[in-house]
Structure 1
Amino acid sequence: MNRRQVREKAIQTLFQLTLNKELSPEEAMENALMIDAIEDIATSVEDVPYLSELVLGILGKEEMIDNLIQEHLKNWQVSRLTKIDLAILRLAVYEMFDVMDENVPKKVAINEAIELAKLYSDDKAPKFINGVLSSMIEE
């Protein structure tokens, strides 16, 4: 499973967790991985340690990440973002500033977020997400 696929699984996991508070992060990750089990990509969280690092890292710093996102929203509130856009932004912010693997350049994290928005959100989301994330690296 490549990094882009892991990022997709991470936002699918985060999205599930925003909709179902009863679900544990581990269950949500397993659910996300089961989507591709038919295609025999990866079927357990143990096979994809970067997924656990992303999801658990984001959840552990969710409030701090959301505050940083809020600082860069213009005339908007984090609470009004779509769940999928919020998941994509959280993932990108975590990769840009907190991920253990130092090999994720900020521009790569932004580009990956834009590509995920093209796949999972509406037509306006890629530009919006690019604007929010780009303003973070311009400081």
Structure 2
Amino acid sequence: MANRHLARSIVLQTLYEWDFRKLPDGSTVDVLHRNIKEFAPGLTDSDFLQGLLSNIISKREDIDRIIEKAAPDWPLEKIGIVDRNVLRLGLFELLFADKEEVPAKVAINEAIELGKTFGGENSGKFINGVLGSVYKELGEPGKDAPPRKKKGDVPFEKMPVKKLGGAVVYAKSGKDIYLALVHDIFRHWTLSKGQIGNNPRIANEGVEEGTVRKIKEEIGVDVAIRADLGSNEYVASDPEEGKIRKQVHYFLAESRFVPLKLEKKGGLDDAKWFKLADILELNFYNDILPIVTKAINLLLKK
């Protein structure tokens, strides 16, 4: 895949010039063709280059928002131009590229190598930290899609299992009912949840007890479990453990209507109360929407 590495280098050079000279987005194709002619005249993978460049440009706002959340101590404008654009390239391939064509570890490793080649002394370490944080905390995006078996994959039934507990948290204020939701850096509203029994001190906690604990840790409210909403399961990727099965059990839980205090980690950037009437207009993951809908139906019957 030496040609692909060279292609990414050409795309990075183009992004650098576009960023440094503050060129309009539409000019990048001309810059790309000039760079191909100058630095890689024999390169035949032009479709890959053009597709990669145009997709990075089109998703720049989303990617930049993710960089800001994953590296909160480094405002985007303070990150060096090379590192900033290596991150854009790496995050696009990590989050949006075809995983069959560009596995997550390939996306991360390629970005690190670009940083080492074109950036400063600490670029590789910085890029590895940002991309690794996104990958480890969120797993591969696309968890709604059914897992696809690849050659060499661990069979589904043999994957490690992590058990999580989550809740549709509600509160009453006057005549209104509100739901507490958390927002992630992929611009989805979702439910507060966390791993159950994830250290020796709490290894034997029950799923309800663990869910109450995680809600308190994540959004700062005390809750009481009122109903069982069922479970879902999805496959995620961990850079150390590989493919893992995440089994999440959800509850309907009541809280007082008090300010939420988000624990800002794990890719979350906001927590808010929403009136029931506004809930279904929000952007949810496909596997979360049925859980929320079931909770709303139960609340409307009360």
Please indicate, yes or no, whether the TM-score normalized by the shorter chain is above 0.5: yes
Of the structure 1 ranges 82-91 and 97-106, higher mean CA displacement relative to structure 2 is found in 97-106
TM-score between the two structures when normalised by the length of structure 1: 0.88
In structure 2, C-alpha distance between the alignment counterparts of 1:138 and 1:19, rounded to whole Å: 31
- Write the distance in 2 (CA, Å) between the matches of 1:102 and 1:60: 22
Counterpart CA distance in 2 for 1:107 and 1:95 is: 10
Structure number having the greater strand percentage: 2
How far is 1:113 from its partner?
0.7
Aligned equivalents of 2:38 and 2:60: distance in 1? 25
Q: Which runs of 5+ in 1 are unaligned?
A: none
Give the structure 2 partner of residue 59 of structure 1. 57
**Percent identity over the alignment?**
34
Amino acid at match of 1:25: T
How big is the shift at 1:129?
0.4
- Alignment of structure 1 residues 115-126 onto 2, 5 Å: 115-126=113-124
Question: What per-residue deviation string (whole Å, max 9, x for no partner) do you get for residues 83-107 of structure 1?
Answer: 1111100000000111246421111
* Cα offset, 1:118, TM superposition: 1.0
Provide closer, same or farther for how the CA distance between residues 75 and 68 of structure 1 changes in structure 2, counting only shifts above 3 A: same
Bigger helix fraction: 1
Identify the residue that residue 12 of structure 2 maps to in structure 1. Answer: 11
**Counterparts of 2:105 and 2:72 in 1: how far apart (Å)?**
21
Counterpart of 1:2 in 2: which secondary structure? helix
Structure number, greater radius of gyration? 2
Q: Which runs of 4+ in 1 moved over 6 A?
A: none
Matched, 1:24 2:27: yes
Greater relative contact order, per chain length (Cα 8 Å cut-off, separation 6+): 1
- Cα drift, residue 47 of structure 1: 5.0
For structure 2, the residue ranges without an aligned partner over 5 or more in a row are 138-302
Provide the TM-score with structure 2 as the length reference.
0.42
Q: 1:102 & 1:25 partners in 2: Cα distance?
A: 27
**SS at 2:42's partner residue?**
coil
Partner Cα separation in structure 2 for residue 67 and residue 74 of structure 1: 10
Task: Determine the C-alpha separation between the residues in 2 that align with 1:86 and 1:31.
Answer: 22
